[in-house]
């Protein structure tokens, strides 16, 4: 499901490149290149995740490669419970790892959350988390 057009007009909404539920049951969130994620953008993304979940607990893969920054307000939004059952943060650079480790070190993630540099490893971990839940 592409991000609705109206979200792209909301402050912060244009930072989401895509948000969709793939055929394997994983929600995929991709931030635009150079995104500076603020509180409203983070909230829009999490609202979109909850809409796709429709009350079900589903794994979430967040592609944060090329993300420029994540504001304190955005980190607060990401530390709140959403309908994701587990979250894999996917990055490619040392900056991505620093951003993810900072977030994970400062905020208690509401669900199992882990940083990966390999897409395949991230997907395997998400599927193992789903299998462990039953």
* Residue 108 in this model has a pLDDT that exceeds 80: no
Residue 104 confidence (pLDDT): 67
* Residue 85 in this model has a pLDDT that exceeds 80: yes
For domain 5-133, give the CATH number: 3.40.50.10600
Average pLDDT over residues 28-40: 91
Give every CB contact of residue 100 below 8 A, 6+ residues apart in sequence: 64, 89, 91, 115
pLDDT, tens digit, for every residue of 38-53?
999 999 999 999 999 9
* Residue 101 in this model has a pLDDT that exceeds 80: no
Q: What is the pTM of this model?
A: 0.82
Domain boundaries, the chain: 5-133
78-109 as b/e: b if 16+ CB within 10 A:
beeebbbbbbbbbbeeeebbebbeebeeeeeb
Among the ranges 11-15, 46-50, 62-66, which has the highest mean pLDDT value?
46-50
* Residue 55 in this model has a pLDDT that exceeds 70: yes
């Amino acid at each position: 499901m592409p991000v609705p057009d109206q979200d792209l007009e909301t402050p912060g909404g244009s930072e989401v490149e895509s948000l969709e539920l793939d055929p394997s049951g994983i929600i995929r969130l991709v931030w635009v290149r150079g995104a500076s994620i603020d509180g409203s953008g983070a909230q829009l993304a999490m609202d979109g995740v909850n809409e796709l979940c429709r009350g079900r607990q589903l794994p979430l893969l967040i592609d944060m490669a090329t993300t420029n920054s994540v504001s304190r307000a955005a980190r607060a939004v990401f530390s709140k419970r959403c309908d994701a059952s587990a979250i894999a943060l996917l990055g490619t650079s040392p900056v991505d790892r620093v951003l993810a480790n900072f977030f994970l070190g400062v905020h208690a993630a509401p669900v199992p959350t882990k940083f990966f540099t390999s897409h395949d490893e991230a997907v395997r971990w998400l599927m193992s988390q789903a299998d462990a839940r039953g």
